[in-house]
A and B are shown apart, each in its own frame.
Chain A
């Protein structure tokens, strides 16, 4: 008798296999925890992979200090509840020097507070493998990303020099100083992630759900006012029924007008309202091929 798994169970099986391989073959793995929906799914898969044991590696949050207050609150509560070890890292020097998106522009701000901070945190912890929640479907340059993505000693990604990945046999060999980023959700789509959250009843940050929020409407964009967004002449905040489709720093994350206040409603919106999810993230649009440039430099 032959049976098949549904697509979500097949994806789950693949992800659990990857999580276990990395835990078995690397000395010091870490999971990058960004507090978003993909991270929530990744954490649940890790809980499943090592059940009834605990997740055998820490979660690492790179905190730019420009995240939403609700995200930080959720992070602390969620990790405490599941008994995970949480490491929070900030680029304290850059913040002390006054790094902010308003002063530096989004590109330089990201380079210092995200990319640099991440590389420093990995080096400080001596981590040789870092899980990330990136999915190939998210953005064109990610479509070719390996599941085990090899980084040189400077944390840089060379798209011409990636190892071929066959079957589910992953090459985990690294030289000293080199590391591997691992993407267990590579083959998941945004719809898969939300459907899995629904099916498994996984907690996510309330910012994903629609409610009346105080926002600035600038052209098509709906921007949050947290962390001192500067109003343009004549601009006023207003209450907008909206939600976040993806979570980043407040300055770089616009909201979408929406009434979806439950997971099924979000899925309904997703199916009918087809705009790709990173579209409201400013960084991808800085310049043509910008995500690829960031990745080459070491951005996750």
Chain B
């Protein structure tokens, strides 16, 4: 029976099946010639998502670039300018369904200057397909795509090794790429990615397994997309309910409309309202379809509380036993998306959950080279650059680390004058004093500070680092550069140079250490008795004397060496790029 009649014969069954389908959102990233558009066109076409008349208009197009009868990439390259350039330059959304699932594709360009589009597509995706050209192997772009997928916390990655037809479907080519790329993905904290050898142009392993890759026993791309478990939903986590809108049709009803962004809420559950800290219980969960016994993420709901509290947009209902962080200061990884570079100290608007408020970038901790993953010191970020920032908001915000709660860990920055969206941010777990675990940290904060003398532990908690003495000989410029770098990282630091008689340098540096500071001693005299005396006065492991022969001649590079030594010595917490665990 042809499908048409089958459907007509049993439309109710079709509707029942269709109604219960899940939705998988995925993003595709590839370089200009990886054949990404061809792959998407193939998925849409072969899953019959392409309608006949759209096909007809492509057959008539003079720009048909492929050698075959149909150029699938023309199905997806939408805007005129792009068609002329032959490059997809924006995020395009595509839709298709199979009998098992519904899919939304965020098709994003792989061109270097369009990192921001890739980040945009990735922000809502459950899965990323990264394309690799089998002939060219793992290119810097492929690494970059994987990096951005990891940065945006996409839970799953599929590596589509495309154009296998052009390498005669050789297993060794595929295996070599798999080995190399797996190593890179593991570095990014994504173990066990799925690798599929395919030819988008000829259809091998796209919809059905191909006879031309007998050595490959895994699923075809579509089979994988249809069966991969959806990412662990955020509804297993502590409840978070940012209030969007207060519904008050009359004096008898006051409900808080919003979306459960993580966890779940039931009538009777205790809730705390942030920022007021007032507590109440959920009285009822009201919807057009009736009252609910439970609302879980990502359901929209209107919550009524048992007590009359003052709650408005921007407030958040949370479970009192699992509070988010509440602070005006936090660190985040950001993708800079504006032609205008980031300026430290300039006010921006920050939008986080349903709050919008003024925020300032207080420091650029570092910039990440997306090709090598190495961190570089930076004082600003330019378009499409990625870095780690320290931010300060006008009022406290209630947040979680992005890697544990996507919805309460993400934010955007808006230019308050031009109104453009200039950055996407992912909040990092707040830094702790080194060595202090969660409970210890809490215990420190709970101390009644006024009733006892300050302890070194309290100083560590405040400063976020241990005291140390850095002894430099004949490198005064380096001393001041280092002071600036450490200051930008939020350290309390001071250079002791010519102002002190050299015989009392050890005592002065020890005094600064006692106050919790990092002291940088800059002296013109080579190894001296003072140096040894200072080492003796400093706490063990907190004295750093650098052999001038071993420090780089460039102040810039030497500063990085010193910071690394401080990190290795445990004085500073590591600010290495954290893309680990995933969500």
Per the bound structure, the CA–CA distance linking A198 and B16 in Å amounts to 11
Are A51 and B78 in contact, CB atoms less than 8 angstroms apart? no
* Known interface pairs A7-B23, A175-B419; 13 further A-B residue pairs with C-beta atoms within 8 A, sorted by A's residue number: A6-B19, A7-B21, A11-B23, A20-B245, A50-B245, A53-B249, A136-B93, A136-B95, A165-B120, A167-B123, A167-B124, A171-B421, A276-B54
Nearest chain A residue, comparing its CB with the CB of B410: A167
At the interface, yes or no: B119 with Cβ under 8 Å from chain A? Answer: yes
Q: Which of B6-14, B182-190, B516-524 contacts A (4 or more CB under 8 A)?
A: B6-14
Nearest chain A residue, comparing its CB with the CB of B24: A7
CB neighbours of B414 from chain A (8 A): 171, 173
Per the bound structure, the CA–CA distance linking A168 and B298 in Å amounts to 12
Closest chain-A Cβ to B152's Cβ sits at a distance in Å of 9
At the interface, yes or no: B26 with Cβ under 8 Å from chain A? Answer: no
CB neighbours of A2 from chain B (8 A): 232-233, 235-236
Beyond A17-B300, A53-B249, is A272–B287 a contact (Cβ under 8 Å)?
Answer: no
Q: Which of B45-53, B316-324, B439-447, B556-564 contacts A (4 or more CB under 8 A)?
A: B45-53
Closest chain-A Cβ to B494's Cβ sits at a distance in Å of 40
User: B286 is contacted by which of A51, A137, A159 (Cβ under 8 Å)?
Assistant: A51
Are B419 and A52 in contact, CB atoms less than 8 angstroms apart? no
CB neighbours of A173 from chain B (8 A): 349, 414, 416, 419
Per the bound structure, the CA–CA distance linking A3 and B248 in Å amounts to 31
Are B235 and A163 in contact, CB atoms less than 8 angstroms apart? no
User: A13 is contacted by which of B18, B95, B249, B259 (Cβ under 8 Å)?
Assistant: B259
At the interface, yes or no: B94 with Cβ under 8 Å from chain A? Answer: yes
Per the bound structure, the CA–CA distance linking A162 and B52 in Å amounts to 31
At the interface, yes or no: A27 with Cβ under 8 Å from chain B? Answer: no
5 contacts between A and B (CB under 8 A): A48-B288, A51-B302, A144-B92, A168-B124, A268-B8
* A contact patch SS: helix
CB 8 Å contact bits of B345-366 with A (1 = contact, 0 = none)? 0000101101000000000000
Which chain B residues numbered 231 to 254 have a C-beta less than 8 Å away from chain A? 232-233, 235-236, 244-245, 247-249, 253
Are A50 and B247 in contact, CB atoms less than 8 angstroms apart? yes
Nearest chain A residue, comparing its CB with the CB of B101: A7
Which chain B residues numbered 208 to 252 have a C-beta less than 8 Å away from chain A? 230, 232-233, 235-236, 244-245, 247-249
User: B411 is contacted by which of A163, A169, A272 (Cβ under 8 Å)?
Assistant: A169
Beyond A3-B233, A164-B117, is A8–B19 a contact (Cβ under 8 Å)?
Answer: yes
Per the bound structure, the CA–CA distance linking A279 and B51 in Å amounts to 10
Nearest chain B residue, comparing its CB with the CB of A44: B288
Nearest chain B residue, comparing its CB with the CB of A278: B53
CB neighbours of B406 from chain A (8 A): 167
Beyond A47-B288, A271-B14, A275-B51, is A7–B120 a contact (Cβ under 8 Å)?
Answer: no
At the interface, yes or no: B420 with Cβ under 8 Å from chain A? Answer: yes
Per the bound structure, the CA–CA distance linking A186 and B424 in Å amounts to 22
Per the bound structure, the CA–CA distance linking A160 and B81 in Å amounts to 9
Are B79 and A195 in contact, CB atoms less than 8 angstroms apart? no
CB 8 Å contact bits of B394-405 with A (1 = contact, 0 = none)? 000000000000
Which chain B residues numbered 323 to 352 have a C-beta less than 8 Å away from chain A? 337, 349, 351-352
CB neighbours of A69 from chain B (8 A): none
Closest chain-A Cβ to B242's Cβ sits at a distance in Å of 10
Beyond A144-B92, A166-B410, A167-B407, is A199–B19 a contact (Cβ under 8 Å)?
Answer: yes
Per the bound structure, the CA–CA distance linking A198 and B230 in Å amounts to 27
CB neighbours of A9 from chain B (8 A): 299
CB neighbours of A16 from chain B (8 A): 259, 300
Are B53 and A279 in contact, CB atoms less than 8 angstroms apart? yes
Are B95 and A51 in contact, CB atoms less than 8 angstroms apart? no
B residues adjacent to A (C-beta < 8 A): 2-5, 7-8, 11-12, 14-15, 18-23, 48, 51-54, 76, 78-81, 83, 90-95, 97, 102, 104, 116-117, 119-120, 123-124, 230, 232-233, 235-236, 244-245, 247-249, 253, 255, 257-259, 286-289, 296, 298-300, 302, 313, 337, 349, 351-352, 354, 406-407, 410-412, 414, 416, 419-421, 424
Are A3 and B296 in contact, CB atoms less than 8 angstroms apart? yes
CB neighbours of B352 from chain A (8 A): 169
Per the bound structure, the CA–CA distance linking A164 and B232 in Å amounts to 26
Are B20 and A264 in contact, CB atoms less than 8 angstroms apart? no
A residues adjacent to B (C-beta < 8 A): 1-13, 16-17, 20-21, 23-24, 47-54, 136-137, 140-144, 159-160, 162-171, 173-175, 186-187, 189, 191, 195, 198-199, 264-265, 267-268, 271-276, 279, 289, 292
Are B236 and A1 in contact, CB atoms less than 8 angstroms apart? yes
* Residue of A48, A170, A268, A273 contacting most chain B CB atoms (<10 Å): A268
Beyond A13-B298, A48-B288, A144-B91, is A169–B80 a contact (Cβ under 8 Å)?
Answer: no
* Residue of A9, A11, A51, A162 contacting most chain B CB atoms (<10 Å): A51
Nearest chain A residue, comparing its CB with the CB of B78: A140
User: B51 is contacted by which of A144, A174, A276 (Cβ under 8 Å)?
Assistant: A276
CB neighbours of A20 from chain B (8 A): 244-245, 257-258, 300
CB neighbours of B4 from chain A (8 A): 268, 271-273
Closest chain-B Cβ to A221's Cβ sits at a distance in Å of 13
CB neighbours of A166 from chain B (8 A): 119-120, 123-124, 410, 412, 421, 424
Closest chain-B Cβ to A122's Cβ sits at a distance in Å of 19
Nearest chain B residue, comparing its CB with the CB of A135: B95
Beyond A17-B259, A51-B286, is A144–B78 a contact (Cβ under 8 Å)?
Answer: yes
CB neighbours of A169 from chain B (8 A): 351-352, 410-412
CB neighbours of B247 from chain A (8 A): 50-53
Nearest chain A residue, comparing its CB with the CB of B10: A268
Nearest chain A residue, comparing its CB with the CB of B294: A3
